[in-house]
Chains A and B, each alone.
Chain A
């Protein structure tokens, strides 16, 4: 029943893009957090999470994403999301994540707005 999440990182001059593939549950959320914190420790202050290949999330995974947002905000940075399915977008709104992170329809629009 493994639904292991994979995370790929694309470092860019002004920040980074994280690409997720799979289920964002507690384990997947921690995997994203580990990558995000490594990037923050390396000075990254603009982070875009592209969820194009993630179709399922749960509330535990999203709570970890909120913790990542808080840590980035504490450092004066920003996190944004793109390519969400409608139900993931709706779930982000229910949990309030959409109030603290920008959400874009596609990566090119996000990269342009974020200067990535």
Chain B
């Protein structure tokens, strides 16, 4: 689909407590400038929060940094689209193993819901992970008609 020239933002953030809020606010501001609704922005920011927490808690990276890039574009029909890339230079992870961790009430360990939350809140999610680190690319689109795209993984 044709897109108009976008806006772009890049951030390098230290992996410290609550830094995910800074990332979420930056992306939220970009989305607001493009006219995305507050409900869609809330969904996107909650996904970004989970992705940043995953990087902070599980990446095991030596540089203690996460690298974020946001692009905002308007599609041909005027629909706002935000692309988010969050990269760490950590040890990578096994996606299939992570997806199997469905927790239930009563389970001894209730953590590990981040990926499920990300996929539920975003329209597209793609993860590239290996020994050089992990990049998660997420897309949020608000169709002018009010429809959103399919969530993929």
Contacts and interface: CB of A to CB of B under 8 A. Distances in A.
Interface of A: 1-3, 23, 25, 27, 55-60, 62-63, 66-67, 69-70, 85-87, 90-91, 94-96, 99-100
A32 B139 CA distance: 33
Nearest to B53: A58
B125 to A, nearest CB: 14
Nearest to B42: A87
- List the 8 closest pairs (A to B, CB-CB), nearest first: A63-B110, A87-B42, A59-B113, A1-B18, A94-B120, A87-B43, A95-B113, A100-B105
B21 A67 contact: no
Size band of the B side of the interface? 20 to 34
Interface of B: 16-22, 24, 39, 42-43, 45-46, 49-50, 53, 103-106, 110-114, 116-117, 120-121
| B interface majority secondary structure | helix
Contact of A91 (B17, B104, B117): B117
A23 B105 contact: no
A86 B113 contact: no
Contacts of B105: 66, 69-70, 96, 99-100
A58 B121 CA distance: 13
Contacts of A58: 20, 46, 49-50, 53
A3 B18 CA distance: 7
B110 A87 contact: no
B117 A95 contact: yes
B55 to A, nearest CB: 13
Contacts of B50: 58-59
B53 A59 contact: yes
Q: Most chain-A Cβ atoms within 10 A of its Cβ — which of B46, B111, B112?
A: B46
Contacts of A85: 42
Contact of B42 (A55, A70, A95): A55
B120 A59 contact: no
Given A23-B18, A87-B39, A87-B121, 19 more contacts: A1-B18, A1-B21, A56-B45, A56-B46, A58-B20, A59-B114, A59-B117, A60-B111, A63-B113, A70-B105, A85-B42, A90-B121, A91-B117, A91-B120, A91-B121, A94-B116, A95-B103, A96-B104, A99-B105
